[in-house]
């Protein structure tokens, strides 16, 4: 059961200064993989920079030029949340290209699954705007690349970052070949992802938003996976599954108010891997989005790789303290199932 990972030191050159989305995130992950001995069991997939034409599958060419010119001038703030440095444009090209390489490695049979450990992250970036720490929408670019390169008819994107992937939703809102499913804390940044945002035209129903209240933990997330994501995926019958893998729903994360544990993330990834095995010959690629508590992030990524390799998982941080009483989401799940006719 070969699993691969994408990584390159260029990702550390995206210098964000005193910011939560920092190079230390990847350094913590790589350190944990090395110290655990897991890195030696994984296949390293060398990334390449995405071409401008590949970036333009999702982004306006004028916007791409603006990001390049901003880097050439030394970088700076793009909005109140998103900053870049002189090397950020190159890092962003390699981030998008890294997820493309993950797709290529899986489709080419180099590995059965792949996890792109890249930064800057991507799922908030819209066609013409950087936001939410994101410059280019890595997963959307990779999905469009896969549709064109491999003539795929159906790709499923699952996004369990704690923030809604507004940029990814925008990219495929009218495209019936891509189903986008998001679990996210709501109402929360970026303010999108309402339950009634379901796609348009021929793509009506291929966007599924599960806007969760604060305080949700393993039980609530797993209920959503089992009652909504699994039946929706089985009905859609994807030929490839892509995952925006954000760990900022962990109970220790400083940017959100969820109560997911490392074990909970492992079980979610296990469900997704099971769907890939069942529906599309195991073809699965993940990309890193959020997660800002370094220990929780590193432990969750290691657990994800353990699931991909078929290993037992461990949870060094354990169960959450009782910060919140878990909400009752039964009515929310029932409403999502009714809107999308999931039985």
Annotated catalytic residues are 124
Reported in sequence order, the residue ranges of the chain that DSSP labels E, i.e. its strands, are 3-6, 43-45, 75-77, 83-85, 113-116, 155-159, 178-185, 207-212, 240-245, 284-288
From residue 37, how far is each of 30, 302, 317 by CA, in Å?
11, 10, 19
What's the rounded Cα separation, in Å, for the pair 91 and 15? 10
What's the rounded Cα separation, in Å, for the pair 284 and 111? 10
What's the rounded Cα separation, in Å, for the pair 176 and 154? 8
What's the rounded Cα separation, in Å, for the pair 263 and 116? 21
DSSP 229: I
Tell me the two tokens of residue 95.
């981030």
SS3 (DSSP) at 243 = strand
Reported in sequence order, the residue ranges of 191-334 that DSSP labels E, i.e. its strands, are 207-212, 240-245, 284-288
């Amino acid at each position: 059961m070969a699993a691969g990972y994408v990584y390159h030191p260029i990702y550390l050159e995206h210098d964000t200064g005193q910011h939560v989305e920092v190079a230390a995130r990847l350094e913590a992950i790589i350190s944990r993989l090395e110290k655990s001995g897991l890195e030696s069991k994984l296949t390293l997939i060398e990334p390449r920079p995405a071409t401008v034409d590949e970036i333009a599958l999702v982004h306006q060419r004028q916007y791409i030029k603006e990001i390049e010119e901003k880097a050439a001038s030394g970088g700076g703030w793009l909005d109140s949340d998103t900053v870049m440095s002189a090397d950020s444009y190159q890092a962003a090209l390699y981030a998008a290209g890294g997820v493309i390489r993950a797709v290529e490695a899986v489709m080419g049979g180099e590995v059965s699954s792949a996890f792109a450990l890249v930064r800057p992250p991507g799922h908030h970036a819209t066609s013409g705007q950087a936001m939410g720490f994101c410059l280019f929408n890595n997963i959307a670019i990779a999905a469009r690349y896969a549709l064109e390169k491999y003539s795929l008819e159906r790709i499923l994107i699952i996004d369990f970052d704690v923030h809604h992937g507004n940029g990814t939703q925008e990219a495929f809102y009218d495209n019936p070949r891509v189903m986008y499913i998001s679990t996210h804390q709501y109402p929360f940044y970026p303010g999108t992802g309402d339950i009634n945002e379901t796609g348009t035209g021929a793509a009506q129903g291929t966007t599924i938003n599960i806007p969760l209240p604060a305080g949700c933990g393993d039980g609530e997330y797993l209920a959503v996976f089992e009652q909504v994501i699994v039946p929706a995926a089985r009905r859609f019958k994807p030929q490839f599954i892509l995952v925006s893998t954000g760990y900022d729903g962990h109970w220790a994360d400083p940017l959100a108010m969820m109560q997911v544990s490392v074990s909970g993330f492992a079980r979610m990834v296990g469900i997704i891997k099971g769907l890939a095995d069942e529906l599309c010959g195991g073809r699965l690629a993940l990309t890193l989005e959020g997660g800002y508590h370094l220990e929780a992030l590193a432990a969750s990524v290691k657990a994800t790789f353990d699931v991909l390799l078929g290993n037992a998982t461990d949870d060094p941080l354990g169960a959450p303290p009782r910060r919140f009483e878990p909400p009752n989401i039964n009515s929310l799940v029932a409403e999502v199932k009714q809107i999308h006719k999931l039985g």
